[in-house]
Amino acid sequence: DAKTTQPTSMDCAEGRAANLPCNHSTISGNEYVYWYRQIHSQGPQYIIHGLKNNETNEMASLIITEDRKSSTLILPHATLRDTAVYYCIRSGSARQLTFGSGTQLTVLP
């Protein structure tokens, strides 16, 4: 039970922003929201994480709703290399990440 809900797949045009939603309506107060991605069968790549506030790094932005029940990962200018499966994961403990099926993002030329 991944405890997050994500769309199975999304498309995005190259150069446009990709907005990937995640629902985590039962998240508890001490759980962080983590985003990873996996390109083909490579190792999951860390993207960003947050608790309450919006976060931004060189890869992406993370917008968390005020009630923390959902979040959106934003890739501001998607490229073909961003085609991957994106996982939204709740992390109450860093010891055991529970991966769901994620969202297959396809960036189209």
Binding-site ranges for other proteins (CB under 8 A): 2, 30-32, 34, 36, 38, 41-46, 49, 51, 87, 91-101
Closer of 37 and 107 to other proteins (Cβ): 37
Closest separation in Å from C-beta 106 to other proteins: 18
Q: How far is the CB of 50 from other proteins (least distance, A)?
A: 10
Q: Nearest distance from residue 91's CB to other proteins, in Å?
A: 5
C-beta of 57 vs 65, nearer to other proteins: 57
Residue 13: CB atoms within 10 A of its CB come to 11
State the sign of the Cα–Cα–Cα–Cα dihedral 16, 82, 30, 71.
positive
**Cβ(5)–Cβ(90) under 8 Å?**
no
Rg of the chain, C-alpha, whole Å: 13
